[in-house]
Every structure is written in C-alpha cells, then in structure tokens.
C-alpha cells in the first residue's frame, strides 16, 4: 500500500460520509463519531485538505501535508476544523448544513519540484522561504487560468512572501498531486443518468 495509490469509489464515498458526519456531530455538540472504513487505503497514513462551501461560497479550507495518522481520521478532523477554525470565515452554523458541500483533496507526499515540468491541473505547490510556507492545491491554478510562473508567484504570496520569493537563494519549492472529489460530484452522478 502506497500513499500514491488511487482511492476506490467506495473509499471516496466513505471519506465524504466521514467528513459530513464529523462536521454534523460537531455542530450538534455530539461526540465525534468513530471513523469507519477499513480498506488499507483508509487505514494507511494520509494527508488531505477539506474544503466546505455553503451555497457555492467558500466557507473554510484546512489541510495537512503530513502522513502521520490514518487517512480516515485525518479527514474527519479536517472537516471539523475547516467548518469552525478557518480564521478567514465565520464558523458554519447548524442551519447551513442543508446547503453545505464538502470537497476533499487527498495528497501525495511532497517532493522537490522540477520547476520546468510543473503541469497546471496536475501539480499543487508549496513554497518555503525564511520560515514562511504557502501551499496551493492543483485545482487553484486550473480554475484561475494561471501559467506555471503565475502559480509559483501566487504560492509565494500565499506564504506572505513577495511573488518572486520562489526564485530566491534558499527558497524551497515542492510539488504534490491531489485526488479531488466532492459530494457535489456524487449528486451530479446520481442525478444525471448519462453518468451512471
């Protein structure tokens, strides 16, 4: 079992359900449910980002690049954190649950980036320099139509650094890939017979 092995559809469904149940329990003041899903991929250490949107508007995104604990546990904790501790947004309220969508990005381990081989839509980036660190997921560059140089500059800015920080001596640039899916995708598949 490797961190790069693709998730099965059942694994994806389990992670989305784990995220939603953990978030709902948090909002209801109930104990966090025990994560389930016993496939090797879900039990293996994993890294992920969880994004929550309400009526299509971003309301939180929290993640980790560390492979320290089982993926199923990480996703539940990140869902709660994304809905309540992202300082850019007010915490999610219980009355928003019906309009809430969850997206999960399961990451591969960070590796030193080949700056001449960055592929938009495939690679996410991390820029580290002088104690600062910024990360952008692969889909960000795709959604915004960036080229590789812009992606590097924006990842530097995400770290609170100048846009050219990635070029500086001592700066480190890492890349990773992410398997991204959401409960919006699932609803689309269920409601569109062409995708069954």
Mean pLDDT of 112-117: 98
pLDDT at position 16? 96
Could you report the per-residue pLDDT of 4-42, keeping only the tens digit for each?
678 999 999 999 999 999 999 999 887 777 767 789 999
Mean pLDDT of 99-128: 97
pLDDT at position 73? 95
The full set of domain ranges for the chain reads: 9-108, 111-176
Q: Is the pLDDT of residue 139 over 70?
A: yes
pLDDT at position 185? 67
Report long-range pairs for 116-124 (Cβ below 8 Å, ≥24 apart): 118/148, 118/151, 118/152, 118/175, 120/146, 120/147, 120/148, 120/151, 122/177, 123/175, 123/176, 123/177, 124/175, 124/176, 124/177, 124/178
For 111-176, CATH number out of 1.10.10.60, 2.60.120.580, 3.30.1490.150, 3.90.550.10 equals: 3.30.1490.150
Could you report the per-residue pLDDT of 59-70, keeping only the tens digit for each?
999 999 999 999
CATH for 9-108 is: 3.30.700.20
pLDDT at position 2? 52
pLDDT at position 187? 47
pLDDT at position 33? 73
Could you report the per-residue pLDDT of 72-113, keeping only the tens digit for each?
999 999 999 999 999 999 999 999 999 999 999 999 999 999
- Model confidence, pTM: 0.88
Report the 10 Å Cβ neighbour count for 143: 10
pLDDT at position 3? 57
């Amino acid at each position: 079992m490797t961190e790069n092995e693709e998730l099965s559809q059942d694994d994806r469904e389990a992670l989305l359900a784990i995220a939603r149940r953990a978030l709902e329990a948090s909002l209801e003041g109930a104990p966090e449910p025990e994560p389930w899903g016993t496939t090797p991929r879900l039990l293996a250490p994993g890294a992920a980002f969880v994004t929550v949107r309400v009526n299509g508007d971003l309301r939180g995104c929290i993640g980790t690049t560390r492979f320290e604990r089982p993926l199923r546990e990480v996703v539940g904790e990140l869902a709660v954190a994304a809905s309540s501790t992202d300082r850019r947004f007010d915490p999610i309220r219980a009355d928003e649950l019906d309009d809430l969508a969850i997206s999960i990005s399961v990451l591969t381990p960070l590796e030193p980036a080949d700056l001449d081989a960055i592929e938009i839509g495939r690679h996410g980036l991390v820029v580290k320099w002088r104690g600062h660190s910024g990360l952008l997921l692969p889909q960000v560059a795709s959604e915004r139509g960036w080229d590789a140089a812009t992606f590097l500059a924006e990842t530097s800015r995400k770290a609170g650094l100048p846009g050219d920080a990635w070029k500086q001596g001592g700066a480190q640039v890492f890349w990773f890939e992410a398997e991204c899916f959401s409960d919006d995708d699932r609803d689309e598949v269920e409601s569109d017979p062409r995708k069954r």
